[in-house]
Amino acid sequence: MDNQELESNMRKSVEAAQRNFNTIRTGRANTSLLDRLTVEYYGAETPLKSMATISTPDSQTIAIQPFDLSSLGLIEKAISISDLGFTPNNDGKIIRINIPPLTEERRKEFCKLASKYAEEAKVALRNIRRDAIERIKKSEKESDVSEDESRDKQDNVQKLTDKFIKEIERNLSDKEKEILKV
């Protein structure tokens, strides 16, 4: 595994963590809160964002305008039974979701969830690091690289890992500030 491939794999872990952070509610309405939501549409689980236009007309409201009006009830049902805790309001053309302000307790729960996502990403990075170091040690045993070269490569892998872990921690810190901001 070369450095570019290693860095690419680590970058993907950081991006996955960021996508998870985006699904966590803050005090403001955000369309990414609905990114994971799927709707049972003609017998198939369909992502909501491929069925409707999702917008935020103001900081406390998400508006969902389906491309096919017959799917309005299905979308409303999917939002109601999801774990998001939103109550959709259907006016026959558009579904509106009012985002209530978060309580202090709820903010702390979301911070814990963000920490969990960050920890999962760090574990993924450590697994990538472990695999890379095992490959380096294997090539050293097979005499493909010298001991010094092996040590240098392992140091590079560790530096790369540290860089991406810092990035995840910075993203987590930003998300926690956003969640706790009243």
CATH architecture of the domain with range 3-22+103-180 = Orthogonal Bundle (1.10)
Tell me the CA distances in angstroms from 169 to 15, 42, 121, 173, 176, one per residue in order.
Answer: 13, 42, 10, 6, 10
Tell me the CA distances in angstroms from 87 to 34, 137, 155, 162, one per residue in order.
Answer: 13, 55, 52, 42
Tell me the CA distances in angstroms from 78 to 62, 81, 84, 181, one per residue in order.
Answer: 15, 5, 10, 29
Q: Which residue, chain included where needed, has tokens 């090539």?
A: 139
The ranges assigned to domains in the chain are: 3-22+103-180, 31-98
For residue 152, the tally of other CB atoms under 10 A from its CB is 13
Q: How far apart are CA 38 and CA 31, in angstroms?
A: 14
Read out DSSP for 50-93? GTEEEEEEETTEEEEEESSGGGHHHHHHHHHHSTT---EEE-SS
For residue 121, the tally of other CB atoms under 10 A from its CB is 26
Q: In terms of pTM, does the model score above 0.85?
A: no
Each of the 182 residues of the chain gets a pLDDT tens digit; together they read: 678 899 999 999 999 999 888 888 777 788 888 888 899 888 899 998 899 999 999 888 999 999 998 899 899 999 888 877 788 999 989 999 988 888 888 889 889 999 999 999 999 999 999 999 999 999 888 888 888 998 999 999 999 999 999 999 999 999 999 888 86
Q: What is the pLDDT of residues 56-86, one digit of tens each?
A: 998 889 999 999 988 998 999 998 888 777 8
Q: How far apart are CA 59 and CA 98, in angstroms?
A: 9
- Domain 31-98 in CATH 3.30.479.30: no
